[in-house]
Structure 1
């Protein structure tokens, strides 16, 4: 009896201690932040809300925002995630609280294919990121540097037009031309010449070809990786799925191809022509005033960042613009009249005439509003606890900005589903505006 009483007393004390511990923990959390969490749909154990991510996640998340509001909390696997779907809240994330949301999550594919997340897109906020961003803005994307590649863009555009005319004329007017492939090849060839100094044509018997290696890298960046949602399990899950093996093979190919390109640039002289991105970064690498040294892997990551970011996005915007013009012949007619008016007066059309294409600029802006090439932007990660629009956002929370939903938000746009370039006559949004309705124009 005494033995039973001692066990009962011990069990009671253990239960009381557990209750006090849980109560105090919840009390501390309430005292730490009296605000509430953003609204959240019903989830499932283990997977959380992963079932909501369809093959078109920006569509499903936009529908979720219509039901729950412009800020939604999700648990994607084991990763707390906040989805923002309004221009006002995007402004809070990107401007008012930019110091909190400046960092990036260390995604598995980026850890491999960005050489340890040492590019601008995926590197953590800090001295290296600030230096890398400064190099890209002042050295690679400066107005002078962009203008220096005008001849390259003109040559590749003429090559593309010649190809289209030749293909269309081979079997008459009914011959089909796959403009998706044409636009991708155009963007790929321009970026290859700008970044690496030449077009890459696969030779017979060549195993590693830059274009194929980069295409595989882009597919891996956009693929589903279980390790991004289950960080504790990432190694064995990605190993079982074969994703890790694909990453390792592609990383090896990237290293070998990039090493060959860098060696070629080191050996040759740039006196006979302008600098490409590799030349510029090799020159920057030798500077003695760098806050953080730029390694060869950093150089590869930065130049590949420029290439990957510019290929798919450019071709997607061109493809969607052409598709919308075909669907709206009255808008196409206005655009054609503007182009022909300038072509008749100048005899030809080149980049120097871009400032006169007011309607065509509106067409491109309207296309990017409805069809943003990066609909969820690049994910961000909160570096500390934060209050966003009255809601508690804890540190290490992943943040997704749904630019697709923002571009179709009726609170920001009148008749948002209508393709109407005329709306930009009243809303003169330019690339440097702090108007967060058109995120794709600024980021």
Structure 2
């Protein structure tokens, strides 16, 4: 209905019809938002009205009846889950607590790529970065590295693709039993595969067989299991939510999916742009040499001094946001915005991809990768400046933004700092394939391949 790349088609429609468009997709009134000014109206000025989520098949199958966080309707249960996840996994103190895990896995990345450099091998950066994020987040969430028994990353890739697909059943509910696209069947199968993995992980934690006798910290699953069959919000006397296994599995899947695919896609896309623009690679390496030197790896404490790296990350997320659209919002009451009547239960699609290409904000070179556009401006990525909101804003803004930004910045910095890179087989920078695949996230259509040369003077680890 909207094509294989709906964010692009809706971007072109917005140029013609304006930044707030009304579409009738099946039985669902749908509003497409495509500018910073319009997004601020929906996500800040009238944030509460649009803070809920629509009921969709992906949420029903993959979030255990929308009992996680991403697909859950607005209300006291969602607020409790968000606070709980922030407290035990996503807060600044927790991000710092897991710094040793991050350091260990980054050391693995550098050594792995260093071996490929010594052998003069081409590195599949899409695979390598995806494996790194998987190892890192599995240790943080599960207390152990990725497990080949589960093939978890492949399952998450599948669920992200299915969750982002245009599903006729979500817009014409009475057609759902017919499953015209086969998406219902595929969602059900994916949910069964994921459930098997999550059940195994929970069982191993409860039996104490996952630790391998050397877990250095209490992981997220341990914390959740300790609360099993207890109230999630014991101080709320009006509405108490008891944590059941399905709640644990729904929350786990949300945390895994959000951390795996989105961070990896952001890193690989930004690195693709760096490879396409050798002058950016040179400028970034110069800054890293000045701030860090060439005798050690980049540390988290260095990031605040790396201003050009910050610009590169912002520019990467502007052109290649972690998701083409924010997860759909739903209005909880009738409202009029800018003269538009928006009925209750309208679906709101915020086209982040389009906003990053708005020439009224980013000038005539909006389609170009040009980090210097961020010199001497105060645009940040934390949802306060609506010109650039890759992690959303308002009540439904991404609670894992702090962790994601550290991971993206640190991994990019390490790859550029430790190695020189060239494209394989004499490929010119402008020949690099930059085709996207649409889903809940927006990965590259082809894997990113490049040849590294080690450039540090001292030891890598």
Same-fold call, TM cutoff 0.5: yes
Residue in 2 that maps onto 1:179: 125
CA gap of 1:317–1:210, structure 2 versus 1, over 3 A, is closer
Residue in 2 that maps onto 1:89: 38
Deviations 1:399-436 (A, max 9, x none): 10011111111222233223222222222223435211
316-325 or 210-219, which moves further after superposition? Answer: 210-219
Q: CA deviation at 1:72?
A: 0.8
Residue 196 of structure 2 corresponds to residue 253 of structure 1: no
Residue 371 of structure 2 corresponds to residue 421 of structure 1: yes
CA distance in 1, matches of 2:53, 2:38: 18
CA distance in 1, matches of 2:324, 2:182: 27
Structure 2 residue runs without a partner (length 5+): 393-397, 399-461
CA distance in 2, matches of 1:427, 1:377: 25
Residue 230 of structure 2 corresponds to residue 230 of structure 1: no
Residue 140 of structure 2 corresponds to residue 191 of structure 1: no
CA gap of 1:251–1:352, structure 2 versus 1, over 3 A, is same
Per the alignment, in what secondary structure is the counterpart of residue 323 of structure 1? helix
CA distance in 2, matches of 1:400, 1:347: 44
CA distance in 1, matches of 2:370, 2:154: 38
Residue in 2 that maps onto 1:380: 329
| CA radius of gyration, larger in | 1
Q: CA deviation at 1:353?
A: 1.5
Q: Which has the higher contact order (CA 8 A, sep 6+)?
A: 2
Residue 230 of structure 2 corresponds to residue 281 of structure 1: no
Aligned length, in residue pairs = 383
Residue 387 of structure 2 corresponds to residue 437 of structure 1: yes
CA distance in 2, matches of 1:355, 1:137: 23
CA gap of 1:427–1:213, structure 2 versus 1, over 3 A, is same
What's the RMSD between the two structures over aligned residues?
Answer: 2.1
Which one has the bigger helix percentage?
1
Matches within 5 A, 1:142-153: 142-153=91-102
Residue in 1 that maps onto 2:257: 308
Residue in 1 that maps onto 2:404: none
Residue in 2 that maps onto 1:25: none
Residue in 1 that maps onto 2:56: 107
Contact in 1 for aligned 2:326/2:349 (Cα 8 Å): yes
Residue in 2 that maps onto 1:267: 207
Per the alignment, in what secondary structure is the counterpart of residue 250 of structure 1? helix
CA distance in 1, matches of 2:217, 2:145: 15
CA distance in 2, matches of 1:396, 1:304: 26
CA distance in 2, matches of 1:135, 1:107: 24
Instruction: Tell me the TM-score normalized by structure 2.
Output: 0.78
Divergent runs of 4+, >4 A: 269-272
